[in-house]
Amino acid sequence: MSNNDQESNKQKLWGGRFTGETDPLMNLYNASLPYDKIMYHVDLEGTKVYTAGLEKIGLLTKQELAKIHQGLEQIDAEWANGTFVINQATDEDIHTANERRLGEIIGRNIAGKVHTGRSRNDQVATDMRLYCRDILTKKLIPFLRNFINVIISRAREEINILMPGYTHLQRAQPIRWSHWLSSYATYFTEDYLRLTQVLERLNKSPLGAGALAGHPYGIDREFLSKNLGFAEPIGNSLTAVSDRDFVIEIMFWSSLFMNHISRFSEDLIIYSTAEFGFISLSDAYSTGSSLMPQKKNPDSLELLRGKSGRVFGEMCGFMMSMKSIPSTYNKDMQEDKEPLFDCMTTVEHSILIATGVISTLKVNKEKMEASLTMDMLATDLADYLVRKGVPFRETHHISGECVASAEKLGLSGIDKLSLDQFKGIDARFNEDVFNVFNFEQSVERRDAIGGTARSAVLKQLGNLENKLQ
């Protein structure tokens, strides 16, 4: 084994035990720096607080701590401005890279004290929580809140537009376009609230748990937790180093959110077809065909729909990695970063694209309202008789007879039946039956909580805005 190889192994955090050369492929297979280097800042912040904790219990002097912090700030600047030079032989992960560089800046004697009592097990668990907290608080939560507010704003502005509501992709009853918007704003607000709960659970500190058994020098874990902005230390050192439930929760949350985004996208894709023509996407979120010049494809929405499968697959894959490993830290857990990072980036971009789509699309009010047909008021016809004291099960049957009779007579809708024809089906029909055939009135009758009447929709939107506070 060459001197260079020996020196390389010494610089690895685990290298003192080993004298043999590592297979070069194993070095590549083991390395995580290509993807975990994005955590450089939180790794340095964690080390700042940890070394302050060491100084607090007398394991570092104030002068040593000052030098360490100065060195850490220089490393942070190097990463930020792109001048950090990676040592391919020794820098297997962000923790090794930062500590190696710190030794070059302030000397290895002082830098060698930084890891006292700390393991990469509690270090990486801390970094992961800090990084996820940053992404959730600085990106996902505010981006999602803005997305929901854009939907709510559009719903308020376009509350007068009526459209068909669908079940089984068949026209069912008239609703407000704003009611449709509010339905997805409701899904996404529940996602928003769930994400704040995930944030609350992940915001706990593993630092000071050591490799698995705890800290041998009595470090103040409450001090570490507080100074890193965590709510509290994790109460069991075995759990602290091995818990990845927060990773799974973020990926599960992402899968559920992307499921909602996928359904949202599918509706808009359908509504944008020539057969529907309810909406038109902005050119910024559409593409053309390489062959057919007339085409305007909803690629943004199709990608949103497609990436939901990607996110769900990442969650499933990591769940399979975690399901059978024994307690505390195992190297399998290194498989958390790539799917998690990709998952969070995919969700971040998806929120931003969805926000752009919904804020720029155009609504074809005339096409939406032209798609309303009188057969959609068959339930209103049944309700008309209910208000006269007829049991609903009976009125449902009578209304069905009216629909069948209009079809048999070749009429364009049930509103074209004459009063005599209505009375021929049921004598309790009177002249006021024709008041039923008004889409606006149909919508306005549904004014109970959650309904599609103007007042009900505005109440929904107000409630959602309150939840977002």
Residue 233: DSSP 8-state: E
Each residue's pLDDT tens digit, 43-100: 999 999 999 999 999 999 999 999 999 999 999 999 999 999 999 888 999 999 999 9
Q: Report the number of distinct structural domains present in the chain.
A: 3
Task: Output the pLDDT for position 25.
Answer: 75
Pair 90, 228 in one domain: no
* Beta bridge partner(s), residue 363: 279
CATH of the domain at 191: 1.20.200.10
Q: Residue for token digits 């990442």?
A: 314
pLDDT level of residue 32 (50, 70, 90 thresholds): confident
d(CA 64, CA 61): 5
d(CA 283, CA 281): 6
In a domain, 278, yes or no: yes
Task: Output the pLDDT for position 85.
Answer: 97
- Concatenate the DSSP letters of all residues of 155-197 into one string: HHHTTT-EEEEEETTEEEEEEEHHHHHHHHHHHHHHHHHHHHH
Across the range 192-205, mean pLDDT stands at: 98
d(CA 134, CA 145): 16
Across the range 222-241, mean pLDDT stands at: 98
Active-site pick, 95, 119, 168, 327: 168
Task: Output the pLDDT for position 24.
Answer: 72
Pair 213, 359 in one domain: yes
Of 10-24, 150-164, 423-437, the one with minimum mean pLDDT is 10-24
Is residue 13 predicted with pLDDT exceeding 80?
A: no
Q: What is this structure's pTM?
A: 0.91
Range of the domain at 381: 374-437
In a domain, 126, yes or no: yes
In a domain, 262, yes or no: yes
In a domain, 157, yes or no: yes
In a domain, 453, yes or no: no
Residue 119: DSSP 8-state: -
Across the range 180-195, mean pLDDT stands at: 98
Task: Output the pLDDT for position 290.
Answer: 55
Pair 272, 256 in one domain: yes
Is residue 434 predicted with pLDDT exceeding 80?
A: yes
Q: Which of 120, 78, 148, 138 is nearest to 463 (CA)?
A: 148
Pair 168, 276 in one domain: yes
CATH of the domain at 80: 1.10.275.10
Pair 98, 186 in one domain: no
Catalytic site residue 215? Answer: no
Is residue 11 predicted with pLDDT exceeding 70?
A: no
Pair 169, 237 in one domain: yes
303-323 per-residue burial string, b: 16 or more CB within 10 A, e: under 16: ebbebbeebbebbeebeebbe
Pair 66, 126 in one domain: no
Across the range 154-175, mean pLDDT stands at: 97
Task: Output the pLDDT for position 1.
Answer: 43
Task: Output the pLDDT for position 168.
Answer: 96
Is residue 336 predicted with pLDDT exceeding 60?
A: yes
Q: Which of 444, 390, 436, 395 is nearest to 417 (CA)?
A: 436
Active-site pick, 95, 115, 289, 327: 289
Domain boundary, last residue among 351, 370, 389: 370
Across the range 330-347, mean pLDDT stands at: 94
Pair 111, 28 in one domain: yes
Pair 161, 250 in one domain: yes
Pair 272, 409 in one domain: no
* Mean pLDDT rounded to a whole number for the chain: 93
Is residue 375 predicted with pLDDT exceeding 90?
A: yes
Is residue 183 predicted with pLDDT exceeding 90?
A: yes
Task: Output the pLDDT for position 292.
Answer: 64
Across the range 403-430, mean pLDDT stands at: 93
Q: Give CA separation, 124 vs 117, 170, 173, 320, 360, in Å.
A: 14, 52, 54, 21, 42
With contact defined as beta carbons under 8 Å apart, do 142 and 232 qualify? no
d(CA 127, CA 157): 44
In a domain, 446, yes or no: no
CATH of the domain at 431: 1.10.40.30
pLDDT level of residue 2 (50, 70, 90 thresholds): very low
Domain boundary, last residue among 86, 116, 146: 116
Is residue 289 predicted with pLDDT exceeding 90?
A: no
Of 29-33, 237-241, 392-396, the one with minimum mean pLDDT is 29-33
Pair 183, 247 in one domain: yes
Is residue 288 predicted with pLDDT exceeding 80?
A: no
Task: Output the pLDDT for position 287.
Answer: 77
With contact defined as beta carbons under 8 Å apart, do 192 and 141 qualify? yes
In a domain, 448, yes or no: no
Each residue's pLDDT tens digit, 232-267: 999 999 999 999 999 999 999 999 999 999 999 999
Is residue 402 predicted with pLDDT exceeding 80?
A: yes
Q: Give CA separation, 270 vs 265, 267, 357, in Å.
A: 9, 5, 14
Task: Output the pLDDT for position 295.
Answer: 63
Across the range 301-319, mean pLDDT stands at: 96
Across the range 22-28, mean pLDDT stands at: 69
In a domain, 457, yes or no: no
With contact defined as beta carbons under 8 Å apart, do 460 and 450 qualify? yes
Across the range 376-386, mean pLDDT stands at: 94
pLDDT level of residue 14 (50, 70, 90 thresholds): very low
Pair 7, 155 in one domain: no
Of 17-26, 88-97, 109-118, the one with minimum mean pLDDT is 17-26
Cβ–Cβ contacts within 10 Å for residue 30, how many? 14
Domain boundary, last residue among 344, 370, 396: 370
Cβ–Cβ contacts within 10 Å for residue 104, how many? 13
